[in-house]
Structure 1
Amino acid sequence: MTEAATEPAWRQRAVEKSTRAAKLRAEQRVQRFLDSAQELIGEKGTTDFTVQEVVDRSKQSLRSFYQHFDGKHELLLALFEDALARSAVQMREAASAETDPLRRLRAAVELLYMQSHPDPGVQRPLFSDFALQLLVKHPAQVATAHVPVLTVLTDLIEEAADSGAIPSGKPRRRAALVMQTVMFAAQAHGVPADGHGHPVDSGEIWRFCLGGISADQASD
């Protein structure tokens, strides 16, 4: 018999309760660090703050900070991942308001475009500064951070293909191409590469992406 099997049930329950309590406390400490960093970004309009400022703002210890994060980079990465996870949730909610699979996909694509489009009145240094640094120095971390958004688009493309609205074939690869197209176009302020003509809007982006994912995939 294993040691776990011979332990009294009360002991197992006590250990599990203690573990859950410790996990909850750790999650609360982490959230205070994240909230404090987000407040500093909002006040400064930049990611140029120190770990000590975050620690002081959170009213926690430096030792506690380094128990949860290796340093400032990992803290900013957590904020970046959290922002993209929230974006994915909002995309799924927008899609759920539609019943037609193609309209569900369109709702998600257009919302992603609007989420990614810079607002002149709102500073988003996590995306304008930190994300660019990540892309150059840590591309694998960028890919991991975008997984929630990629998953939503993959699911919706699969649903549209299953319904016959678009041809089937490599939904995750299509989703990656759609995501990159939408986000890059949005971050370029919707201005065409030639600098002429009307700015690109979410409807035009959707029609462009639909043309790509509806094309003949015989070469897949």
Structure 2
Amino acid sequence: MALSSLKSIVLRVTEVSEEPAWRRRAVERSTRAAKLRAEQRVQRFLDSAQDLIAEKGTTDFTVQEIVERSQQSLRSFYQHFDGKHELLLALFEDALARGALEIRDAALAEDDPLRRLRGAVELLYEQSRPRHQVERPLFSDFAQQLLVRHPTQVAAAHLPLLAVFTELIEQAAASGAIPAGRPRRRASLVMQTIMFAAQGNGVPAGGHAVPFTSAEIWEFCYGGIAGSAVASPAADPAD
């Protein structure tokens, strides 16, 4: 092979050589550090907002109060959030995700699919109720506002919970404990029933002072699931 051809091959190999390993390591280290700092700043904003909610019993506070409580800057806040609404949405999504994980873990402790589903229904009801007369504005005031103004965000926030209930209904149906069919849609109906009852403080309409129990909520939901026939696809929207 001619010398000129060898030089050409060497040049081509040199031109497409990879970035030096030390440079990649330096950039990756810098990126990891920046990501960690950003996560810490975000968490401080979230913690501060959570503290304000606990103190005030409402979401009626300002971005400036969050900034002052977190001991960070207004500029830093708007680098991470479009506004107070987005921060509250993050808290709402986190709370629902933690609740879904708690329900899934509790369900795994049961062997019987129907008992798993019952445990999930009762636990979601207890999670959603005000505790010891303490208001939960993220699940009352803010959730209602969000439902009206941003229904798509509400649906996205509930996806982890919906996935858990869909799976549990599928398992119960597979065991023969309940009729099969449309598990995702039925899971959505069950969840909405539970959470609506809980946000009414568990007090029945008509002035009765005795709150619903979790067992009553289960009996009602089970009656609907166990007695439901598979709907005609032509009559109802798809899952």
- After TM superposition, the score normalised by the length of structure 1 is 0.90
Aligned partner of 1:79 in structure 2 is 91
Aligned partner of 2:157 in structure 1 is 145
Aligned-partner residue type, residue 112 of structure 1: L
Structure 1 CA distance, aligned partners of 2:212 and 2:230? 26
CA separation of 1:161 and 1:50: change in aligned 2, threshold 3 A = same
Structure 2 CA distance, aligned partners of 1:186 and 1:70? 31
Q: Deviations over 1:69-107 (max 9, x none)?
A: 001111111111111111111111221221111111111
Question: Which residue of 164, 167, 174 corresponds with 1:155?
Answer: 167
Aligned-partner residue type, residue 90 of structure 1: E
Structure 2 CA distance, aligned partners of 1:102 and 1:35? 38
State yes or no: 1:217 paired with 2:230: yes
Report the structure number with the largest CA radius of gyration.
Answer: 2
Aligned partner of 2:37 in structure 1 is 25
CA offset at residue 35 of structure 1?
Answer: 0.2
How many pairs are equivalent? Answer: 219
Alignment RMSD: 2.2
CA offset at residue 186 of structure 1?
Answer: 1.5
State yes or no: 1:60 paired with 2:72: yes
Identity of aligned residues (%): 75
Question: Which residue of 182, 185, 204 corresponds with 1:192?
Answer: 204
Aligned-partner residue type, residue 61 of structure 1: S
- What are the ranges of 5 or more consecutive residues in structure 1 without an aligned counterpart? none
Q: Deviations over 1:21-43 (max 9, x none)?
A: 22111111100000001111111
Structure 2 CA distance, aligned partners of 1:202 and 1:15? 53
SS for the counterpart of 1:40 is helix
